[in-house]
Amino acid sequence: MIERPIPPLLDALLDACHDAFIAIDSQGNVIRWNNMATKLFGWHPGEAMGRPMAELIVPEAQRDQHERGMKRFQETGEVRMLNRRVTLQARRRDGEIFPVEMTVSMGEDQGRVVFFSFLHDLSERRRTEDQLLEIARTDTLTGLPNRRHVRERLDAAIAAAKRRDRGLAVLFIDLDQFKVINDLQGHHVGDMVLKELAKRLKANLRQNDFIGRLGGDEFLLLMEDVEQDKDAVIVADKLLDLIAEPMQLEPGKPLVVTASIGLSIYQGDETTSDILIRQADEAMYRAKRDGRARLAKWHDRTTPASVPPAAPRAPFFDFMEKVFAKPQANPGFGAREQFLQDALRATREHFGMDVAFISKFEEGRRVFEQVDPPVNSALIQQGNSDPLEETFCQRVVDGRLPECLPDAMANSEASSLPATREIPVRAHLSVPLLRKDGSVYGTLCCFSHAPDMSLNERDVDMLRVMSVMLNERMS
């Protein structure tokens, strides 16, 4: 240890320094320890002086390296860290590991070698850098990883899959008719939908899954360690159901949205993140072309596969032309009734359903205002009514049932209703009819006595368009 004391002025300057100052002898023992060193590492000068610096501030994982450096100096005089700024890990008295920037210089005192070290705490800078990096990699609306972060994670996952010879899957998720939500209900509702969807997806991840938002209404789910393609298909099917659950975004205004999902599987070799995302994107668009609200899988650079496409439908404009063609004279009907009857008939024929009707909600009851064709049933006749709570109509409006039911018996809520068994109702399409003030007038419905598995979200969209045009006649 150096016997000569440090001059008082220099000692005061070192204690006023904003960085930790530690001096050690050629054996690595502490011979000077300033106030900032005490603040930074937790050891008081009386505890530190004379002890090996390695015991006080060097993490255990790095002590061997430190000891080798000291031994190399003692044997050869070589000091590799001399007069350079280096960033390394240090250890506080309580065991916390934190980053520091250290500068080491060497001098002599009374013929003895002395090492002087200045150490600057980088913890706050690292926290700021980490926060900025997190901001740069996070979607501000949903809090999910953004496109940049997704790409980084996918690149890393592909590299890991190559090393470990394991599979991975990419699910490209895109909301159906999201633009309609923004246009009709406002972008604030669209933002709420995206945040609710992000919340649902994040809460239902498997342990190793990763979800991010690519932008707009596009999300990407990365599944690592996928052993079989069917594992990804099972997850995708669950996501379709999860997304379609009614969203209670505003009091009394349940909203049901659906999504189309494209699936691509890591094939090994030269597959890149760009290739996987592009394949999943192409498959997703195939799912939309096949009717939306479904999964499509990309297959070996060929046409993506999906569930069987919906049955051919009449072109939209042909349909609307038929609905709004000048009605034929019918002495038994007024102009309004004639229009509604023609609209129902064209709607029913277009969808290939058995019955179409317009209902009106009055004092807790559902009233059949118009029915096509006339039904020989006490349950469904123009002017008849039944308790609203027991109807498909009420459950569609409040979100307990989806607007499209290919088979009512496959839905626990629908299968419990009297109409399902007594009429019977199996395939069902229904959308609300609204007054000019936005309140619910009733519903526009179609149903069939047999299931129709070709019904899909595209049909609901067309029925919605019809409902908008009918709303003017419902006031």
Q: How many other CB atoms are found less than 10 A from the CB of residue 375? A: 17
The one-letter amino acid code at 362 reads E
Helical pair 273-289 and 147-164, crossing angle rounded to 10 deg: 110
Q: What is 337-367 written as a DSSP string?
A: HHHHHHHHHHHHHHHT-SEEEEEEEETTEEE
Q: Are 193 and 180 within 8 A, CB to CB?
A: no
Q: How far is it, in rounded angstroms, from Cα 119 to Cα 381?
A: 88
Give yes or no for a contact between 119 and 41, defined as CB atoms under 8 angstroms apart: no
How many residues make up the chain in this entry?
A: 475
The one catalytic residue in 19, 217, 290, 354 is 217
Rounded Cα distance, 410 and 140, in Å: 39
- Return the DSSP state at 145: B
Give the whole-angstrom CA distance, residue 205 versus residue 212. Answer: 12
How far is it, in rounded angstroms, from Cα 36 to Cα 48? 13
Q: Sign of torsion, CA 411 415 421 424?
A: negative
Catalytic site residue 318?
Answer: no
DSSP run (H or E) holding 233: helix 229-244
* Four-residue CA torsion sign, 415, 417, 421, 427: negative
- The whole-angstrom separation of Cα 423 and Cα 413 is 16
Cβ–Cβ under 8 Å, residues 120 and 194: no
105 beta partners: 116
Q: What's the CA gap between 117 and 57, in Å, rounded?
A: 12
Other Cβ atoms closer than 10 A to 59: 16
Three-state DSSP state, 192: helix
Residue of 44, 124, 121, 126 lying closest to 90 (CA atoms): 121
Residue 373: partners with Cβ closer than 8 Å, 6 or more residues away = 345, 348, 355
Distance CA 98, CA 91 (A): 6
Active site residues: 217
